[in-house]
Each structure stands twice: as C-alpha cells, then as structure tokens.
Amino acid sequence: MPENDITKTFNRLTQLAGELVKKGDKTPYSPRTAELLEYVDQLKPCLTKLISATEEFVDINMISKVADVLTKNKEVSTSTDKLASAMEELANKFKSAAPQFSKMSNEAAELHQRMAAARRSFDNEIEKNFIEVLKNFVNNDLAEVHKAKKKLEDSRLDLDSSKNKLKNAKNDEQKTKWENEVRHNTQTFERVQSESCAVFERALKDFV
C-alpha cells in the first residue's frame, strides 16, 4: 500500500475513533443522501430474510433433487408423486375385482400427478424468476451500493479529519496547509456524495 494510502487510512481510523469517543461533530450528508442511506441499510437484511423464507417455502433442496432425478431418468420421489404412484398401483390391482374403485383411484392418481407437475413448475418458476433475481440484485447491484457507501463514508472522514487538523493548527503555515486540504476534501466529498446518490437511486429504482 502506498505511503499516501497508509496515511489516509490512519487518518480515517483516527477520525472514526475520535467520533466514537467524543461524539464530535460530523459533516452531515444532504437530506436526500441520508434518506437513501436509511433505505439501502435496510435492504440487504430484508432481502436476505425474504430469500431464505422463499427458499424454505419452495424447498430448493427438493428442486435440486428432482432435477437430478429427472436428469438420471429415475423415479421422482416427491410426496405427491409417491401418492399418485400408490393410487395408480391400487387401481391396477383392483381393476377386475372393483372396477369403479379402480376408476376412482386412477382419476385420483392422475389428479395428483398433475398437482405434482404443477408444484414442480411453480417452484421452478419461483426459483428462476424471483429467488435468482433477488440473489443477483444482492450480489451485484447491492454490492455496488455498499462500495459507493464505503467511498462516501471515507470521503466524509477525510473531510472531517482535515477540519480537525485545521482547528488544531499551531501556526499560519499549518493553517494554510489545512485550509487547502479542507477545500480539496470538501470538493471531493461533494462529488462523491453526488455519485453515491446516483448509485443509490439507480439501485432502488431497479429494485422497485
């Protein structure tokens, strides 16, 4: 890591530690930025819970097992499939002795087979068009959001660190130096805040 980056990192950590201890003043974000940050901070935990709950509902493990079974041309062993198979077997055994019962069993077996197929189709659609979409959003769009948030926080720490150095300047030379740094970091902070807001806005728009 270049020396300048090491110095910046040290200054940021020092500034952050000072804020935690002294609860000092921080350069505020714009109202819109603060509002967007509140939304994006809630997104990942909410989406993680939603993905987990949906996976549990559709039973992703069962979808994988069914896919493996179909690939290997083996018997599908979901509970609905098993019930349909049992009814079909029962219908065949009583075809001669109890034709009406056999017919009813066959009809029930066909119904359960259709139900099983519909459930598999439903689960696959949920996985493909909902779960995977959410995961893609979390792993890509939301990852970019958190990068932008980190960059914004770093620029804010740089600015406040400069302000503190200016406040503690011991002579005119130091004062001039830190004034220039504050001016530079203020411009950087405003630019990064604008860029970060654009990332936040885009992610929320894509999500909604």
- pLDDT tens figures, 142-151: 999 999 999 9
User: Is residue 204 within 8 Å of residue 38, measured between CB atoms?
Assistant: no
Higher pLDDT, 104 or 44: 44
Q: Where are the domains of the chain?
A: 42-207
Q: Tally the C-alpha atoms within 13 A of residue 207's C-alpha that lie toward its C-beta.
A: 22
List, for residues 48-107, the tens digit of each pLDDT value.
Answer: 898 888 888 776 555 444 444 444 444 545 555 665 566 566 556 666 666 675 667 667
Q: What is the CATH number of domain 42-207?
A: 1.20.1270.60
User: Is residue 158 within 8 Å of residue 198, measured between CB atoms?
Assistant: no
The dihedral region occupied by 171, where left means phi > 0, alpha psi between -120 and 50, and beta the remainder, is beta
Report the C-alpha gap between 44 and 208 in whole angstroms. Answer: 14
Higher pLDDT, 181 or 74: 181
Tracing tokens 């499939």 back to the chain, one arrives at 81
Higher pLDDT, 182 or 114: 182
The one-letter amino acid code at 140 reads N
Nearest CA-CA partner of 146 in 184, 80, 199, 76: 199
pLDDT of residue 74: 45
Report the C-alpha gap between 204 and 32 in whole angstroms. Answer: 13
- 3-state helix, strand and coil shares in percent for the chain, rounded to the nearest 5: 85, 0, 15
Task: Return the structure tokens found at 1.
Answer: 């890591």
pTM: 0.70
